[in-house]
Amino acid sequence: MRPPAVRLVRRGRMPYAELLALQERWLRRLQAAPGPEAPSGAEAGALLLCEPAGPVYTSGLRGGLTPEEMARLRALGAEVRATGRGGLATFHGPGQLLCHPVLDLRRLGLRLRTHVAALEACAVRLCESQGLQGARARPPPYTGVWLGERKVCAIGVRCGRHITSHGLALNCSTDLGWFEHIVPCGLVGTGVTSLSEELRRHVTVDEVIPPFLQAFKETYKCTLISEDSPN
């Protein structure tokens, strides 16, 4: 039996609003597709990768930002958006890898909990590939991937009718000063970090994408096909 295929949709820097629009198009495409009885090797969805073009604060289904806070953040020059993902407030900006898998979990034989664990495993393996052996996922409420008491990768997903959206945000060379204006993910007393901060050198998003894709293929037991490949 052939492994399920996932379409790789890789962008460079792009506005966050454009990523959400791209995600919505893939959601509609998957929702209109046949169910899990699709033939072996059929596409299970898409892996959307990009780097945010500008600073954006987002809130999740549990909120995280009051109207006053949203006005204050906009005054800093950032965009502020409410999203349908799980979790509270976080920040996205240049120097960050955004990964939004839009997947039919049934075709991958996964449940939502194992999908979240797989995303965490991908981020841990990426950190390890860079020599950061202390990266780990933590039990709730500490979602994401951590290096000590500092979070390097935030995770927040949405799932409806077995189809996922949103995903992870991994700090490569992100300006961490933007996080000082919020309580990231509502976790008081914890900090944030980046690969550049930990490795004491500039780590670009482009640099980490190849090891991330390798980790994704092995963790999700799928093949990745480029966006312009024939169906």
In 3D, which of 79, 80, 14, 82 has the Cα closest to residue 48? Answer: 14
User: Does 89 appear as a known binding residue?
Assistant: yes
Residue 191 Cα distances to 64, 72, 73, angstroms: 17, 21, 19
User: Does 166 appear as a known binding residue?
Assistant: no
User: Does 181 appear as a known binding residue?
Assistant: no
User: Does 131 appear as a known binding residue?
Assistant: no
User: Does 168 appear as a known binding residue?
Assistant: yes
Please state, in angstroms and rounded to a whole number, the distance separating the CA atoms of residues 101 and 171.
18
User: Does 91 appear as a known binding residue?
Assistant: yes
User: Does 155 appear as a known binding residue?
Assistant: yes
User: Does 98 appear as a known binding residue?
Assistant: no
Please state, in angstroms and rounded to a whole number, the distance separating the CA atoms of residues 179 and 64.
13
Please state, in angstroms and rounded to a whole number, the distance separating the CA atoms of residues 219 and 231.
23
User: Does 121 appear as a known binding residue?
Assistant: no
User: Does 190 appear as a known binding residue?
Assistant: no
Selected catalytic residue, list 50, 153, 172, 185: 185
User: Does 216 appear as a known binding residue?
Assistant: no
Active site residue 50: no
Q: From its phi and psi, is residue 167 left (phi > 0), alpha (psi between -120 and 50) or beta?
A: left
Long-range contacts: 223-228, Cβ < 8 Å, 24+? 223/2, 223/3, 223/4, 223/5, 223/6, 224/5, 224/6, 224/7, 224/8, 224/47, 225/5, 225/6, 225/7, 225/8, 225/43, 226/7, 226/8, 227/7, 227/8, 227/9, 227/10
Please state, in angstroms and rounded to a whole number, the distance separating the CA atoms of residues 210 and 195.
15
User: Does 85 appear as a known binding residue?
Assistant: yes
- Give the annotated binding-site residues for substrate: 85-92, 154-156, 167-169
Give the residue numbers of the binding site: 85-92, 154-156, 167-169
Active site residues: 185
